[in-house]
Structure 1
């Protein structure tokens, strides 16, 4: 099915109509203010034309903007963000290993070196028991954590 042109029977160009509607919607202007601004730029239209175009094309433009935003959000959520780029680089550089794999192998190596569970959680940013704020003010000192991490160094 062919898509009809909503501007087909208008004498004014579609660019001017889009400009007028977007100016009226985007900025806190009255119909007469939009008319005056365009008059200063050499475009002669009536405030009634602005009102008519806004009523006629406003919903069409809003649907188009909404559709574009949804598509942008879908593209972002479909792993086109920074974390996906990092994962792609890691897979290429480390024989298919991802950040998820690296976090698990890090935890396994710490466990193999007999590092206490609390220190493993603190070093990896995990929380094994309780919520985020349960261990505020507690934990291992940085030198002790550094000592545990030196144990697993390659």
Structure 2
């Protein structure tokens, strides 16, 4: 699958969250949200990104925007990651890689000449109708959360 463009429908999903609940696209209807896809819990870039989103979570919430980190890690790994870093973002476990594939972010990568499959760090801002507003590809973790917040503010301001 390829990464959805602005204006396209967000793919359907039903994923377990680190608090034990199941989050679905349908359960988020009427609420804007961020899906940030990241490779692995408790690695340097992924930790930086999660901590930066956590630092801004109240500002996202004030806009009515929920923030979800999505990786192929298990709920148990997400819980350890959340607790270790006191994360306030929602972490969704996509162990079957269904949403990762639907978003086109489960991709062949290469490091030191070795090819492997993994998550390309990508973020999507979704509106209250379930449509993609903006997508950031090949994200650099540091400073990214602030950029997403800025986009969410400008996206939300016409409705305020």
Bucket of the pairwise TM-score, normalised by the shorter protein: under 0.3
| TM-score normalised by length of structure 2 | 0.23
Name the one with the larger strand percent.
2
**Relative contact order, higher structure (CA 8 A, sep 6+):** 2
Name the one with the larger helix percent.
1
